Amino acid sequence: MTTVVFNRRNLLAAGGAVLATGVSGLLLPARAAGLAPTETMSGGANNYRKGAAIVDRIGKGGFWMSGTVRRAGDGAPLAGQRIQIWAHTVEGQEHEPQSHGATLTDKDGKFRLEMPQIIPIFGQPHGHLAYDSGEFKTVFLRPVMRSAKETSLEAHFVLQPA
């Protein structure tokens, strides 16, 4: 006959195992649903101008905005997607046309656009990005730089069908 011994060590181990399976069991369904779509950030659409032209560079450059565009669910990279970018930079305010530009994602769903140095506006150094081409649901992002001295900023889109 086997005697089951309850002591603190095996109770903790058993409890830990139950907790681990229980918690992962709770988390797994969320994973099965796949990559969640990116929500529009508050203030993301501020000073947006519709239809910014695709450019090689905004203004004189010196600052890099980059990121990725993927599909919600399976996370597949989305090529050829148009991303619009604007910010308050050393060459102009957010609402001014010369502060706006757009670029397309490459085959790996990556985009990268050179633009003038972003400077703090309304108390935070931040940029704006938009996906609004219609095939997927429109998303506006407003990433904030950790420091105004940084010379690059990233933003990532996960899009869901419109």
Q: Judged by CB, which is closer to other proteins: 77, or 92?
A: 92
Q: Which two tokens stand for residue 162?
A: 């419109």
CB of 74 to other proteins, least distance (A): 29
Residue 45, amino acid: A
Q: Judged by CB, which is closer to other proteins: 45, or 55?
A: 45
| Bridge partners for 111 per DSSP | 67
Q: Judged by CB, which is closer to other proteins: 22, or 97?
A: 97
Residues of this chain that bind other proteins (CB under 8 A)? 41-47, 88-90, 93-95, 119-125, 142, 144, 148
CB of 148 to other proteins, least distance (A): 6
Q: What is the helix (H) or strand (E) element at residue 22, kind and residue range?
A: helix 8-32
Tell me the C-alpha to C-alpha distance, in Å, between residue 27 and each of 30, 34, 36, 110, 134.
6, 12, 14, 29, 32
Residue 126, amino acid: H
Residues 6+ apart with CB under 8 A from 112: 64, 65, 66, 103
CB of 103 to other proteins, least distance (A): 23
Q: Judged by CB, which is closer to other proteins: 82, or 88?
A: 88
Residue length of the chain: 162
CB of 119 to other proteins, least distance (A): 5
